[in-house]
Amino acid sequence: MGYQTVKFYQTGTYTVGNRLLAPDERSVQAGERRSNSINSGHRACQGCGEALGARYAIDAAMAESNNQLIAVNATGCLEVFSTPYPESSWQVPWIHSLFGNAPAVATGVAAAMKVKGRSEVRVVAQGGDGGTTDIGFGCLSGMFERNDDVLYICYDNEAYMNTGVQRSSATPPTARTATTMPVGKEPGNVFGQGKNVPEIAMAHGIPYVATATVADLRDLEYKVRKAMKMRGARYIQIFVPCPLGWGAASHDTIKLARLAKETGMFPVFEAEHGEVTGVLKIRNKQPIEEYLKPQKRFAHLFGKHAHPEMVAHLQAIADRNIRKYGLLDEEKVNAQ
Amino acid sequence: MPNKPFAITLKPGTSLSNLTGSWRSARPVYLDRLPPCNNACPAGENIQGWLFHAESGDYEQAWRVLTLDNPLPAVMGRVCYHPCETACNRAQLDQAVGINSVERFLGDEAIKRGWKFDKPAASTGKKVLVVGAGPSGLSAAYHLARMGHKVEIHEAGPLAGGMTRFGIPKYRLPREVLDAEVQRIVDLGVTLKLNTKVEHIAQSMKAGGFDAAFLAVGAHIGKRTMIPAGDAAHIVDAVSVLRSMEGEDKPMLGRRVVVYGGGNTAIDVARTVKRMGGEPIIVYRRTRDKAPAHDFEIEEALQEGVMVKWLSTIKQAGAGEITIERMELDDKGFPQPTGEFEKLEADSVVLALGQDVDLSLLEGVPGLEVKDGVVQVGPNMMTGATGIFAGGDMVPSERTVTVAVGHGKKAARHIDAWLRGTTYLPAPKHELAEFKNLNTWYYSDAHKTVRPMLDIIRRQTSFDEVQGGLDESNALFEARRCLSCGNCFECDNCYGVCPDNAVIKLGPGKRFEFKYDYCKGCGLCVEECPCGAIKMVPEDI
Amino acid sequence: MLKQMEGSKAVAEAVALCRPEVICAYPISPQTHIVEALGEMVKSGELQPCEFINVESEFAAMSVAIGSSAAGARSYTATASQGLLFMVEAVYNASGLGLPIVMTVANRAIGAPINIWNDHSDSISQRDSGWMQLFAETNQEAVDLHIQAFKLAEELSMPVMVCMDGFILTHAFERVDIPTQEQVDAFLPPYEPRQVLDPTDPISIGAMVGPEAFMEVRYLAHAKQLQALELIPQYAAEFKEKFGRDSGGLVRTYRTEDAETIIVAMGSVLGTIKDVVDDMRAQGHKIGVLGIISFRPFPMQQAREALQHCKRFVVVEKNLAVGLGGVLYTTLRMAVAGLKLTGYTAIAGLGGRPIPKSSLHKLFLDAEQGALEPVTFVDLDWDVVNRQLEREKQNRHSGPIAENILHAKGMSSSAKFG
């Protein structure tokens, strides 16, 4: 992957910082003067992956833009927990309009900056997976197609969490949601549906598309910063576990993101102008069960009325990702 | 917010007035757990502590932290059997951190750079007699001197070092290394009197006006066993052989030398014989895995061409040959005779069956208790005689250099307290940093650095040091393999992973602090702390 | 400068004179010619600096305008009919956020059945959206209202819809006086936002507001429209002073001095009505006209004053509140509450149905004679309607109403709309 892997420094680039690294090699998040774009006092649940991912991403964008940033937010958890009257957690200029129009609003902000000759001011739009892959998809595609100068960040927690955990087109097969209950012959969300928005974004031929997780901060920051160095439409989908919606422990948020990547369930890659240019390799491949078991949304796959065939199907999806994106190093593939 | 639309538009960062800390049912707290290396170190070294400085390349500071506990890092970096590495959590990840090799590097670096100990604390006016200049005595003398006491070491032998000089061959511990570290202690103001045997402790203390004494005479008398032997049989003990290696007259053992025993001393003798051109054969009554010698030492001996007769006892020794009996282990693992005999050519037999202590200096001292050939001491290292403390091989314990150094430190602390009329209370031990407390995902994959070994021909023919040291680059690498178990190493993870920005970064060396006003108690910081330096504690609700 | 030109083109030139900085365009008849013309002006460099954005939907059009307006750019878009409905969520949002966007609505019917012709159903459907709505009677007024609309919107930080009848105005070639840039600049100051997204002074726009403050927020939007009741006549007066013609204002009366019957309407139909009124005045009828220019805010006071001395009023309206009658009539009833007035609703011109003078003449005479039902459907083909109603009574599978009607009227759908 493109971010600089530093000479061996005890934890390399895996931890947020490390006193052994030169300051310019540390992450934005390691900085005592990071912008904390979304500040304390927000009302996100304990261990919220989205709150974390948002600060990671927006702080990085702030750092790269020299704090000349305007953020647009789709309706959703992030918006609700950050700006209930009378308090806002945002320290950046921020606007929330609607659930499905964040990309278009961002286009408008970018147009305003352009027309006013303020090319130094950069625009980020952000939303959850529902706001991005479903209701906001038309506007997103329009923004992509026009190559508007907007970085769109999707915080993907794989369902409509703010409304009470309903299925979105980013919900994985078998997952329990309030609208895909674990009952019937095919419990949970069905196989064969869903939308791969990063690949759809790539099909627009936009300058930059990437996926990232809250478990790989350095990779995430590298991608945000890289995206911010470019002009035109850019898309980053960040995998942000939701303890509440997934039925997981609040302290497992990062662990689950790590497992999603290490199992191959969530391929972490980047693409420029429609072509994959890098993947974040799996360090220590894990069987899919390791990822599924800590989450109650997959509980019906195990236990008394287990569905091993569905687990196998999910494993096959992960393995396909691994093959398709080349997520394992050669020697690790051979060792399989 | 005047002039802005009411309620719809908000001031930035105003959520700070919403104290989400009230949601919490458990709070994270920073703690220092006891790293397993520190826990395992008989010398009580703060290994994680000094590696922390070595990691940043500040070798002098690392050495200074190291020598707060142990004044002999160059020696220990060679002869210590490093229980720290056995305990190292990294062994469960890939391989243990090469603590011993880094210690040696620091010790050698200190010699090379001429680093000196800090000046002692203000003089207390108290005088302490240390009997014996072995590792325990040197250690005690060093610590007492730093505490401001006047220290005299009375050493019976001609040179300081004790068993590190007279029991450990040069190829494991070059003498210039030992001399340099002894000299540094002397430079601290310790008086070292060589060839000064204390015949009677009470008299020596009175004569010299000492307020306290630390006895560390070691165990220099080779144990004998009854072997039926003819007059012509040449039977010597291992300690004598090794000691004579240090003198002018090298021992005359002949070509075929049988070494009887399975401990490290037996190995040392056999490897010494090999280097002198002899053909050593170790005879040991049990199997290799039951031998008390460290396996790597056995392995190195075998590499060098030392022969071993496992499961064998010497039944009879005669001129030029011995008779051995094959043994077999019973159900309980004890060797039992089989009645099968074999003859071996042997110009001499070296007994390496352990050592006894020369306790003659203690005669007539009231209150002293001797049991099983060693002096009994209390938890404060004081013998039954008031003001007389003892340590090292002459008290009940494992007999290693590291233990001896540890005794010296421990005794020094108690002597110091006793001299001041107080009691030394060690700080309570932190809870152990176990592997399960770590999040090892964060550590880079890094295999242990292999130290260079002398080529086999020179190992068989010279007393050159077998094991090489690390150079600066790989010492740094090795130091940075430390997982810093249980102790914050400022990786910024807690600061980074908190979704609520509820961690304050205090700056280099100052670690972090929680903002409990906002911490919701999710526990992410605990889970993602690589080294297990945070734990959750329930709130009183 | 006087020009003979299409209404859309005239509006485009007027909008361009207002120096819009961001224009969002999505095609829908009969609005399209406006943004086409603006697009050409931007692309040619005639209008600059300006970003002309071809969006993917009306929802996006309004959303882009929300973004650009919030970021301090004077923002404009135009739409009609289904397009307006498609952007409704954003329409409400723009006013909720207090963003001074100006939007032309080329009024058109709402389907189904799909119909591209004029009525007021689209704008009227947004009467409670929080936008101000100004209805143009002529193309000249459409031009002038746009210039006033930007001033009004930006002063109050609330959006304004300028409503002009689709085709009847947008596609009509008429003589229009296009003001000069200097005139417009003198009237309309540069946009100085009340709130703006700016990294040098970050604010959070678009908070979630709960029961503790929501009503106040809503009232404040209402209060702004009440302020507009003051500003609209003021700006109309200022406009007259600078441009030398009457345009805009809240209401406009015509020959109401001694009128016993007053016809109330909005938009271009006022022209036809005035012709009929002139004819009837010539015949001695005491009849006049009340034109409503500002439908939102609704000028209760001015409407009441205009009507208080008549005996009856007839509201000719191009909308149908299905199940009720006319929206404008209902509103006027509130304005004249307590006055002893007979009022009639006349639903006319839906979906582009012509409103001939003859029909109006008959309607007004019936009103004078007290022969009108409270709700009258002007030129409704009762024969067709009754036949369909009968069909439905007899046969559950009676088929699509629109198709049946076209069939009954001897028109095939493919011939008409293919």
pLDDT over threshold 60, residue C416 = no
Q: Which positions in chain A touch C101 (Cβ < 8 Å)?
A: none
Domain at A130, CATH number = 3.40.50.970
| C239 and C146 Cβ atoms separated by less than 8 Å | no
Q: Which positions in chain C touch A116 (Cβ < 8 Å)?
A: 21, 49, 72-73
Is B491 close to A18, i.e. CB distance below 8 A? Answer: yes
Separation CA A128–CA A152 (nearest Å): 11
User: What are the pLDDT digits (tens) for A124-156?
Assistant: 999 999 999 999 999 999 999 999 999 999 999
pLDDT over threshold 80, residue C414 = no
Tokens of B402: 């590291």
The yes/no answer on whether domain C2-243 falls in CATH 3.40.50.970 is: yes
Q: Which of A164, A95, A103, A153 is nearest to A129 (CA)?
A: A153
User: What are the pLDDT digits (tens) for C262-276?
Assistant: 999 999 999 999 999
Number of structural domains chain A divides into: 1
Strands C51-54 and C251-254: unpaired
Is B444 close to A14, i.e. CB distance below 8 A? Answer: yes
Tell me whether B7 touches chain A (CB under 8 Å).
Answer: yes
Do B339 and B376 fall into the same domain?
no
pLDDT over threshold 80, residue C407 = no
DSSP state of A197: H
pLDDT over threshold 70, residue A334 = no
Domain for residue A78, yes or no?
Answer: yes
Is A86 close to B502, i.e. CB distance below 8 A? Answer: no
Q: Which of A85, A90, A93 sits opposite C209 (nearest CB)?
A: A85
Which region, left, alpha or beta, applies to residue C301 given φ > 0 means left and ψ of -120 to 50 means alpha?
alpha
Q: How confident is the model at residue C18 (pLDDT cuts 50, 70, 90)?
A: very high
Q: Which of A12, A16, A39 sits opposite B444 (nearest CB)?
A: A12
Is B3 close to C207, i.e. CB distance below 8 A? Answer: no
CB neighbourhood size of C254 (10 A): 18
- Is the ipTM beyond the 0.90 threshold? yes
Tell me whether C194 touches chain B (CB under 8 Å).
Answer: yes
pLDDT over threshold 50, residue A1 = no
Q: Distance from CA of residue C144 to its chain's centroid? A: 14
pLDDT of residue A4: 43
Domain at B57, CATH number = 1.10.1060.10
Among A residues 137-166, those touching chain B with beta carbons less than 8 Å apart: none
Is B4 close to C220, i.e. CB distance below 8 A? Answer: no
List of residues 6+ apart from B207 with CB closer than 8 A: none
Mean pLDDT of the region C143-159: 98
Tell me whether B299 touches chain A (CB under 8 Å).
Answer: no
Give the largest CA-CA distance in chain B: 114
Separation CA B505–CA B490 (nearest Å): 9
Is B7 close to A26, i.e. CB distance below 8 A? Answer: no
Q: Which of A8, A39, A251 sits opposite B527 (nearest CB)?
A: A251
User: Cα separations (Å) of C114 from A108, C82, C303, C402, C417?
Assistant: 30, 9, 34, 10, 10
Question: B62-98: b or e for each residue (b if 16 or more CB lie within 10 Å)?
Answer: bbbbbbbbbbbbbbbbbbbbbbbbebbbbeebebbbb
pLDDT of residue A335: 57
Tell me whether A141 touches chain C (CB under 8 Å).
Answer: yes
Q: Distance from CA of residue C372 to its chain's centroid? A: 27
CB neighbourhood size of C300 (10 A): 16
| A158 and A180 Cβ atoms separated by less than 8 Å | no
Tell me whether B503 touches chain A (CB under 8 Å).
Answer: no
Q: Give, for C230, the enclosing helix (H) or strand (E).
A: helix C214-243
The residue assigned the tokens 């409103």 is C355
DSSP reduced 3-state for C177: strand
The residue segments making up the domain with residue A256 are: 23-334
The residue assigned the tokens 């511990």 is B173
Angle at B177 between CA B175 and CA B179, to 5 degrees: 70
Q: Which positions in chain C touch A69 (Cβ < 8 Å)?
A: 199
The neighbouring-strand residues paired with A160 are A166
Among B residues 202-231, those touching chain C with beta carbons less than 8 Å apart: none
Domain for residue A18, yes or no?
Answer: no
The residue assigned the tokens 């205009």 is C306
Q: Which positions in chain B touch C209 (Cβ < 8 Å)?
A: 7-8
For residue C294, report the phi and psi dihedrals to the nearest 5 degrees: -100, 105
- Candidates C21, C42, C68: best to mutate against A (most CBs of A within 10 A) is C68
Q: Which positions in chain B touch A16 (Cβ < 8 Å)?
A: 491-493, 495-497
User: Cα separations (Å) of B265 from A178, B353, B407, C307?
Assistant: 73, 8, 21, 122
Domain at B228, CATH number = 3.50.50.60
pLDDT of residue A3: 46
Fold of C252-377: Rossmann fold (3.40.50)
Is A10 close to B10, i.e. CB distance below 8 A? Answer: no
Separation CA B532–CA C286 (nearest Å): 94
List of residues 6+ apart from C347 with CB closer than 8 A: C317, C318, C319, C320, C325, C326, C375, C376, C377, C378
Separation CA B289–CA B299 (nearest Å): 12
Q: Which positions in chain A touch C58 (Cβ < 8 Å)?
A: none
Q: Which residue has the higher pLDDT, B239 or C135?
A: C135
Strands C173-177 and C261-265: unpaired
Tell me whether C195 touches chain B (CB under 8 Å).
Answer: yes
Q: Which of B143, B222, B388 is nearest to B376 (CA)?
A: B388
User: Cα separations (Å) of B169 from A163, B139, B174, B275, C341?
Assistant: 76, 21, 8, 10, 124
Distance from CA of C210 to the nearest CA of B (A): 10
Is C56 close to A139, i.e. CB distance below 8 A? Answer: yes
Do B265 and B309 fall into the same domain?
yes
Beta strands in B155-286 (DSSP E): 191-193, 212-215, 221-222, 235-237, 256-260, 279-283
Distance from CA of A46 to the nearest CA of B (A): 5
Domain for residue B469, yes or no?
Answer: yes
User: Cα separations (Å) of B414 from A134, B43, B143, C386?
Assistant: 73, 15, 11, 115
Residue in chain B nearest A214 by alpha carbon: B497
Residues of C with CB under 8 A from a CB of A: 21-22, 24, 49-51, 53-57, 59-60, 63-73, 75, 89-90, 93, 97, 197-199, 201-210, 212-213
Tokens of A70: 């305007």
Is C55 close to A107, i.e. CB distance below 8 A? Answer: yes
Peptide bond just before C112 cis, omega within 30 deg: yes
Q: Which positions in chain C touch B9 (Cβ < 8 Å)?
A: 195, 203-207
Distance from CA of B108 to the nearest CA of A (A): 23
Of all residues in chain C, the percent with pLDDT exceeding 90 is 93
Q: Which of C66, C89, C202 sits opposite A92 (nearest CB)?
A: C202
Number of structural domains chain B divides into: 4
Q: Give, for A73, the enclosing helix (H) or strand (E).
A: strand A69-73
List of residues 6+ apart from C223 with CB closer than 8 A: none
Do B27 and B50 fall into the same domain?
no
Separation CA B60–CA B68 (nearest Å): 12
Q: Which of B268, B225, B350 is nearest to B78 (CA)?
A: B268
Is C22 close to A115, i.e. CB distance below 8 A? Answer: yes
Tell me whether A153 touches chain C (CB under 8 Å).
Answer: no
Distance from CA of C66 to the nearest CA of B (A): 14
Q: Which positions in chain C touch B4 (Cβ < 8 Å)?
A: 194-195, 203
pLDDT over threshold 70, residue C412 = no
List the pLDDT tens digit at each of the 541 positions of chain B: 557 888 889 999 999 999 999 999 999 999 999 999 999 999 999 999 999 999 999 999 999 999 999 999 999 999 999 999 999 999 999 999 999 999 999 999 999 999 999 988 789 999 999 999 999 999 999 999 999 999 999 999 999 999 999 889 999 999 999 999 999 999 999 999 999 999 999 999 999 999 999 999 999 888 888 788 777 778 999 988 998 888 877 888 889 999 999 999 999 999 999 999 999 999 999 999 999 999 989 999 999 999 999 999 999 888 888 999 999 999 988 899 999 999 999 999 999 998 899 888 888 888 889 998 899 999 999 999 999 999 999 999 999 999 999 999 999 999 999 999 999 999 999 999 999 999 999 998 888 888 888 888 888 888 889 888 888 888 999 999 999 999 999 999 999 999 999 999 999 999 999 999 999 999 999 999 999 999 999 998 7
Which long-range contacts (C-beta less than 8 Å, at least 24 apart) are formed by A273-278? A273/A205, A273/A206, A273/A207, A274/A202, A274/A203, A274/A204, A274/A205, A274/A206, A274/A209, A275/A202, A276/A202, A276/A325, A277/A2, A278/A1, A278/A2
Distance from CA of A273 to the nearest CA of B (A): 32
Residue in chain B nearest A34 by alpha carbon: B496
DSSP reduced 3-state for B113: helix
Give the largest CA-CA distance in chain A: 64
Mean pLDDT rounded to a whole number for chain C: 95
| C82 and A115 Cβ atoms separated by less than 8 Å | no
User: What are the pLDDT digits (tens) for C361-390?
Assistant: 999 999 999 999 999 999 999 999 999 999
Domain for residue B364, yes or no?
Answer: no
Burial class (CB within 10 angstroms; exposed 0-12, middle 13-18, buried 19+) of B224: exposed
Q: Which of C21, C51, C57, C56 is nearest to C39 (CA)?
A: C51
Q: Which positions in chain B touch A55 (Cβ < 8 Å)?
A: 499, 501
| A155 and A127 Cβ atoms separated by less than 8 Å | yes
Tell me whether B481 touches chain A (CB under 8 Å).
Answer: yes
pLDDT over threshold 70, residue A14 = yes
pLDDT of residue A333: 63
Tell me whether B15 touches chain A (CB under 8 Å).
Answer: yes
Distance from CA of C334 to the nearest CA of A (A): 34
Domain for residue B428, yes or no?
Answer: no
Q: How confident is the model at residue C78 (pLDDT cuts 50, 70, 90)?
A: very high
Is A70 close to C63, i.e. CB distance below 8 A? Answer: no
Tell me whether A36 touches chain C (CB under 8 Å).
Answer: no
CB neighbourhood size of C406 (10 A): 19
Residue-wise DSSP of C183-210: HHHHHSPPP--SS---TTS--EES-B--
Q: Which residue has the higher pLDDT, B296 or C62?
A: C62
User: What are the pLDDT digits (tens) for A156-169?
Assistant: 999 999 999 999 99
Q: How many CA atoms lie within 13 A of C230 on its CB side?
A: 6
| C394 and C384 Cβ atoms separated by less than 8 Å | no
For residue C82, report the phi and psi dihedrals to the nearest 5 degrees: -55, -35
Mean pLDDT rounded to a whole number for chain A: 95
What are the residue boundaries of the structural domains of chain C, listed by start? 2-243, 252-377, 388-417
- Candidates C99, C158, C195, C196: best to mutate against B (most CBs of B within 10 A) is C195
CB neighbourhood size of B249 (10 A): 7
Q: Is the C-alpha dihedral spanning C218, C222, C224, C225 positive or negative?
A: positive
Separation CA A291–CA A273 (nearest Å): 32
Tell me whether A38 touches chain C (CB under 8 Å).
Answer: no
pLDDT of residue A9: 76
Q: How confident is the model at residue A7 (pLDDT cuts 50, 70, 90)?
A: low
Peptide bond just before B35 cis, omega within 30 deg: no
Separation CA A4–CA A218 (nearest Å): 9
Peptide bond just before B335 cis, omega within 30 deg: no
Q: Which of A155, A183, A182 is nearest to A170 (CA)?
A: A155
Distance from CA of C232 to the nearest CA of B (A): 22
| pTM metric for this prediction | 0.92
pLDDT of residue C418: 36
Tell me whether A230 touches chain B (CB under 8 Å).
Answer: no
Is C205 close to B7, i.e. CB distance below 8 A? Answer: no
Q: Distance from CA of residue C228 to its chain's centroid? A: 16
Domain for residue A1, yes or no?
Answer: no
Q: Which of B3, B6, B9 sits opposite C204 (nearest CB)?
A: B9
Separation CA C17–CA B146 (nearest Å): 89
The residue segments making up the domain with residue B410 are: 127-221+369-419
Q: Which positions in chain A touch B539 (Cβ < 8 Å)?
A: none
